[in-house]
């Protein structure tokens, strides 16, 4: 990596206010386990967003393109702004899922870790030694953070404070509550081994309940996917095809002068302000919104968090768009001989 590139990235990181850096960005990087230099990491993302915006701005001029008669400059600025926003959203979502994935991994192994710590305490180890010896490689991020905490506890920091720092490095409510409970028990002199075993069993029961809840909501998820990927594109395709047929019949009637010659007035004689092209664009826009809202709804069904369903948005969007194209092509061929 060149020194010039590093300087550019670090200078761009100055666009973020100090308050935002301390209160929002740095804690998120801690939760994600990112150890890179803050200024370089943030600057790289800002540079990527700017680059996407510039490419989007120049693209319409390169292909001489405009949308629905909108001036090319407005189209250019709109596409550039849209690409910049999409890039920012993608970067945020990737960071979010890195944080969630790390937390999920820790929550899955936390009961086993607590049981191992309890076994070590029952074997006669001190709480410090029990935690240190339980930090095995298979526990992943939890093991890494426990080793860092025990190393700090060997210095000037107390063991309780070091364990509290672990809950600040992993965004897990279960871990935070467990650490707080353990520290309270450590200060009050309770039976640590029994308390850790009870906590581990409670966490396992909670995980089993979540799995059972997930299995009960599978049918709802399948129904939502069916509506978004198949039902909505099919209905929108029928609407587009109906509009095409009406427009074609009106054009043929006007060309032959049938309505004027007979003096008949029908619903086909009324002018339709919506064109088939506009209807197709509206249909794809509606599918885009449906896919986003449905992915958020699936996230609520599966994990109780709307943001947990964002990763399903690209698949729902691609599926609905593909089925829309297939349905439009099929209906065009099917009704070609009738009109």
**HSE-CB of 289 using CA atoms within 13 angstroms:** 5
Place of tokens 């008949």: 264
The answer to whether the beta carbons of residues 232 and 320 sit under 8 Å apart is yes
Angle, alpha carbons 123-126-131 (nearest 5°)? 90
Rounded-to-integer distance, Cα 67 and Cα 60, Å: 10
- What pLDDT, on the 0 to 100 scale, is given for residue 163? 87
Rounded-to-integer distance, Cα 276 and Cα 319, Å: 22
Q: pLDDT for 161-206, tens place per residue?
A: 888 888 888 888 888 888 888 888 887 766 788 888 988 999 999 8
Q: Does 315 have pLDDT greater than 60?
A: yes
Q: For the residues of 41-103, what is the DSSP string, one character each?
A: HHHHHHHHHHHHHHHHHHHHHHHT--STT--HHHHHHHHHHHHHHHHHHHHHHHHHHHHHHHH
- What pLDDT, on the 0 to 100 scale, is given for residue 273? 66
- What pLDDT, on the 0 to 100 scale, is given for residue 265? 46
Rounded-to-integer distance, Cα 49 and Cα 41, Å: 13
- pTM, rounded to two decimals: 0.76
């Amino acid at each position: 990596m060149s020194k010039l590139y590093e300087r550019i990235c670090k200078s761009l990181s100055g666009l973020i206010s100090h308050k935002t850096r301390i209160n929002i960005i740095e804690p998120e990087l801690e939760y994600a386990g990112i150890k890179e230099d803050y200024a370089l990491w943030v600057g790289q993302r800002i540079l990527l967003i700017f680059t996407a915006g510039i490419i989007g701005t120049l693209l319409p001029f390169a292909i001489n393109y405009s949308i629905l008669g909108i001036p090319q400059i407005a189209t250019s600025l709109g596409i550039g702004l849209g690409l910049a926003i999409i890039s920012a959203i993608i970067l945020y979502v990737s960071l979010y899922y890195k944080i969630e994935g790390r937390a999920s991994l820790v929550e899955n192994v936390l009961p086993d870790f607590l049981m191992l710590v309890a076994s070590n305490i029952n074997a006669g180890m001190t709480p410090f030694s029990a935690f240190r010896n339980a930090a095995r490689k298979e526990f992943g991020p939890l093991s890494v953070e426990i080793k860092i905490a025990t190393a700090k506890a060997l210095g000037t920091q107390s063991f309780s404070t070091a364990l509290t720092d672990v809950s600040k490095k992993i965004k897990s409510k279960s871990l935070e509550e467990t650490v707080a409970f353990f520290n309270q028990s450590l200060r009050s002199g309770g039976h640590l081994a029994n308390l850790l075993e009870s906590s581990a069993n409670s966490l396992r029961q909670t995980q089993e309940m979540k799995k059972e809840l997930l299995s009960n909501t599978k049918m709802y998820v399948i129904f939502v996917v069916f509506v978004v990927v198949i039902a909505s594109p099919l209905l929108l395709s029928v609407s587009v095809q109906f509009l095409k047929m009406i427009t074609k019949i009106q054009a043929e009637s006007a060309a032959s002068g049938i309505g004027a010659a007979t003096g008949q007035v029908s619903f086909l004689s009324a002018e339709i302000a919506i064109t088939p092209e506009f209807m197709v664009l509206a249909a794809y826009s509606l599918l885009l919104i449906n896919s986003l809202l449905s992915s958020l709804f699936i996230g609520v069904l599966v994990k109780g968090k709307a943001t947990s369903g964002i990763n399903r948005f690209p698949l729902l969007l691609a599926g609905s768009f593909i089925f829309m194209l297939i349905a439009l092509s099929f209906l065009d061929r099917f009704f070609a001989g009738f009109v």
